[in-house]
Amino acid sequence: MLIKIILNKFGVKPYFLFKIMIAIKMIAKFVFMKSSKKLYWLAQFGGWTIYSCLIFLSAYIDRPNDVSYKLFVQLFLMTIFSIFFTHLMRLYMLSKRWLDFNLKTLIPKLLIISIICSTLIETILLITEFIISKDYLNLFNSGRIIVNILALSLLIICWNGIYFTYHFFQKSNQQELDNLSLEAAKNEIELKNLRSQLNPHFLFNSLNSIRALVEIEPQSAKSAITTLSNLLRKSLVSGKENLISIDEEIEIVKNYLDLEKIRFEERIKITWNIDQQLSSFLIPPFIIQTLVENAIKHGISQNIDGGFIKISTQHLNNQLLIIVENSGKLKNTIDTGIGVENTKRRLAIQYNNKAHFSISQVGENVVATLTFDYEKN
């Protein structure tokens, strides 16, 4: 009641207000529409309106005296009917899943439906033209009708070409995204599998070291178990991460070597040459520990007198190098176990072509090198 009094006071008719509310609702619906639908309707209204304006401009330039409101009304109706029928055509094609057809099946169907759509538009336009002008001659002018249908057919074929090309590109992009997601998921699963291989491998070697001490040096064995407990706690935390800092990895390696020093005593000498400026660089967990483990298994343990291990990090020519050097011989048929193979695979997955692993014989020593692309700030 209050609203009615206010409207009467300002001379606003309720019917007029109702129309405004409908218009606002339609505008709001368009604004909050999905971007793809918004683009579709903008293309529909914009494209057909521009086409009608070009016809009107051409008629005005060619015969300015013949241009009247009738032409304007006809072009306006053509725009509305073209939008309406092409939209119905689109809904039909979507309901029949034409977007999934191959080109061999799709092209004949598009030609047929374009001719049908243009014929319907031309028929409605002829009827409205007859209602406006009462011109029987134009209504039954077969030559003019055929030309108009062919012109509209070509235009709607172009409409379909643009529509399907857009959706084919969208589908192609989505397929590419799906493939990338699938590849990422596959790589993630593979990384988890590689880590699950490393953890038991590392654990069994450590337990073998402790087992060797149980009978001959029980106290050392107790100390080794405590060290292993601390190491496993850290490895469980680090193993959940895809990348950890060099500093964290070095701490794991030091704990591991503390276990091995209990076993090898004076037979193993360890040298560290770590650049602290590189300590925050991120690497896969257990990747240095794996190289150290292999150095002991295939180098130090094979020599009665033992040997040395030198672990160093350095920055050289926009590359970060992690080097594990040990005394021993590298044989061509050496069984490096799953550790080294996993190292190569992990680098390939994690860094693509921006990280590499190499192992070679340098004099009397074996040198394993991890190389990462790295530029200092």
Q: Give one DSSP letter per residue of 254-276, joined into a string.
A: HHHHHHHHHHHGGGEEEEEE--G
| Mean pLDDT of the 224-242 span | 76
Residue given tokens 């306006």 in the structure block: 76
From 82-86, 100-104, 318-322, the region with the lowest mean pLDDT: 100-104
Question: Do 154 and 260 sit in the same domain of this protein?
Answer: no
Which alpha helices (DSSP H) does the chain contain, by range? 2-9, 14-31, 35-62, 69-95, 103-133, 136-139, 142-214, 218-239, 246-264, 287-298, 337-351
Q: Determine the structural domain holding residue 231 and report its residue range.
A: 217-373
> Measured between alpha carbons, how far is 125 from 76 in angstroms, rounded to an integer?
10
**Dihedral class, residue 67 (left if φ above 0, else alpha if ψ from -120 to 50, else beta):** beta
Question: Do 241 and 366 sit in the same domain of this protein?
Answer: yes
pTM assigned to the model: 0.50
Q: What pLDDT score was predicted for residue 22?
A: 59
Residue 205 lies in a domain: no
Question: Do 221 and 365 sit in the same domain of this protein?
Answer: yes
Q: What pLDDT score was predicted for residue 166?
A: 84
Is 8's pLDDT higher than 60?
Answer: no
More confident position, 193 or 216: 216
Q: What pLDDT score was predicted for residue 370?
A: 94
Residue 52 lies in a domain: yes
Residue 210 lies in a domain: no
From 187-201, 222-236, 312-326, the region with the lowest mean pLDDT: 187-201
Q: What pLDDT score was predicted for residue 336?
A: 52
Q: What pLDDT score was predicted for residue 303?
A: 82
* Of 173, 204, 234, the domain-final residue: 173
CA distances from 49 to 75, 82, 194 (A): 9, 10, 61
Phi, psi of 81, deg, nearest 5: -65, -35
Comparing C-alpha atoms, which of 297, 306, 302, 321 is closest to residue 270? 306
Q: Average model confidence (pLDDT) for the chain?
A: 78
Burial (Cβ within 10 Å: 0-12, 13-18, ≥19) of residue 260:
buried
Question: Do 129 and 275 sit in the same domain of this protein?
Answer: no
> Measured between alpha carbons, how far is 162 from 172 in angstroms, rounded to an integer?
15
Residue 194 lies in a domain: no
> Measured between alpha carbons, how far is 85 from 145 in angstroms, rounded to an integer?
18
Give the Cα-Cα-Cα angle 345, 347, 352 (nearest 5 degrees).
105
Phi, psi of 129, deg, nearest 5: -65, -40
Q: List CB contacts of 267: < 8 A, sequence separation 6 or more.
A: 300, 305, 306, 307
CATH of the domain at 229: 3.30.565.10
Question: Do 27 and 168 sit in the same domain of this protein?
Answer: yes
Structural domain count, the chain:
2
Question: Do 369 and 222 sit in the same domain of this protein?
Answer: yes
Residue 12 lies in a domain: no
Question: Do 25 and 119 sit in the same domain of this protein?
Answer: yes
The answer to whether residues 291 and 324 touch, using CB atoms and an 8 Å cutoff, is: yes
Residue 1 lies in a domain: no
Q: What pLDDT score was predicted for residue 135?
A: 61
